[in-house]
Chains A and B, each alone.
Chain A
Amino acid sequence: MRQPPLPLALAAFCLLAACAEEAGPADFPDEARARGVDYVNRSGRPEKATILEANGAGVALFDLGGDGDLDIVFAQGLPSLDALTTGPGADLAIYENDGRGNFRRLPGPGLSGWWTGLAAGDVDNDGDTDLVAGGFGALRVLWQEDGKLVPGPDLIGLPPYDEDAALVPGRPRAAGKPPAWITSLALFDSNGDGALDLYVGQYLDLDPVDPPLGELGEGALAVPCRWKGHEVYCGPRGMRAQPDRLLWGAANGVFWDATRDALPGHQPGFTLGVLPFDADGDGDTDLFVANDSAANLMLVNEGNGRFVDHGFETGLAYSPEGMPEAGMGVASGDVDRDGFLDIALTNFSDEPTALYLGVPTGFKNATFRYGLGNETRPLLSWGVHLVDFDGDGWLELFTANGHVYPQADEPLTGTSYAQADTLWHLGPEPRARRFEPLRDDSIFAQPTSSRGSAVGDLDGDARPDLVVTRIDGPAALGMNRTGAKNHRLELVLRGPEGYPDDYRGRRTPRDAMGARVEIIMDAKDELPRLRGEVQTASGYQSASAPWLHFGFGERTGFEQIRVFWPSGATELIFAGPADRRLVIQEGQGIVERRDL
Chain B
Amino acid sequence: MRALWLSLALLVGAAQVVAAQDAPVEVERAADARAERIASWREALELDLAGEVLASVAALEGGAASLSADGEALALYASALAASGQRDAARRALRSASEDTTERAAIDVALAALDLDEDRLAEVEARLAEEDGSVRAELQDAPRAWFLLGRARVRAGATGRARVPLEAFVERWPRHADAPAAWHMLAQEALERRDLERARECRERGAELGRWHAYYRTRRLQCRANPDAPEPRIGLAQLWIAAEDWNRARAELDPVLTRHPEACAAWTTLGELERKQGRLAESRAAYARAVACDPDQHVARFALGLLLVDAGEPEAARVELEALCDDEHAGSDRRFVGAHLALARVLVELGDEKSATRRYARYRELGGTEALEASR
A-side residues, CB < 8 A to B, are 215, 219-224, 226-229, 312-313, 315, 318, 320-323, 350, 361, 364-369, 371-374, 377-378, 412-415
Contact = CB atoms under 8 A, between A and B. Distances in A.
Nearest to A375: B119
Contacts of A219: 229, 231
Contacts of B49: 228-229
A10 B316 CA distance: 96
Given A222-B225, A414-B84, A374 B48 contact: no
A367 B154 CA distance: 11
A371 B229 CA distance: 46
Interface in B222-236: 222, 225-226, 229-232, 235
Given A320-B151, A374-B119, A413-B85, 18 more contacts: A220-B231, A229-B51, A312-B203, A321-B178, A321-B181, A322-B210, A365-B154, A368-B119, A368-B121, A372-B119, A373-B117, A373-B155, A378-B85, A412-B50, A412-B54, A414-B83, A414-B84, A414-B86
A369 B156 contact: yes
A320 B162 CA distance: 12
A195 B155 CA distance: 41
B118 interface: yes
B181 A412 contact: no
B51 A412 contact: yes
Interface stretch (B5-13, B68-76, B185-193): B185-193
Contacts of B187: 312, 322
B240 interface: no
A377 B117 contact: yes
Contacts of B181: 321-323
Contacts of A368: 119, 121, 155-156
Interface residues of B, number: 42
Given A219-B231, A221-B232, A312-B203, A365 B48 contact: no
Contact of A221 (B154, B183, B222): B222
B222 A222 contact: yes
Contacts of A367: 155
26 contacts: A215-B225, A221-B235, A222-B222, A222-B226, A223-B221, A223-B222, A223-B225, A224-B225, A228-B50, A229-B52, A312-B203, A313-B191, A315-B191, A320-B185, A321-B181, A321-B184, A322-B180, A322-B183, A361-B191, A365-B155, A368-B119, A373-B118, A373-B119, A378-B85, A414-B84, A415-B85
Interface of B: 48-52, 54, 83-86, 117-119, 121, 151, 154-157, 178, 180-181, 183-185, 187-188, 191-192, 203, 206, 210, 218, 221-222, 225-226, 229-232, 235
Nearest to B82: A414
A372 to B, nearest CB: 8
B299 to A, nearest CB: 17
A369 B50 contact: no
A222 B188 CA distance: 36
A224 B188 CA distance: 35
Contacts of A415: 85
Contacts of A377: 117
Contacts of B235: 221
A412 B84 CA distance: 5
B117 A221 contact: no
A323 B185 CA distance: 10
Contacts of B51: 228-229, 412
Among B54, B151, B188: residue with most chain A CB under 10 A: B188
A219 B191 CA distance: 44
Nearest to A364: B157
Nearest to B224: A224
A368 B156 CA distance: 7
Most buried by A among B84, B85, B86, B231: B85
Contacts of B226: 220, 222
A361 B210 CA distance: 26
B229 A220 contact: yes
A221 B231 contact: yes
Contacts of A223: 218, 221-222, 225
A365 B206 CA distance: 19
A504 B275 CA distance: 66
A227 B83 CA distance: 12
A414 B50 CA distance: 10
Nearest to B192: A361
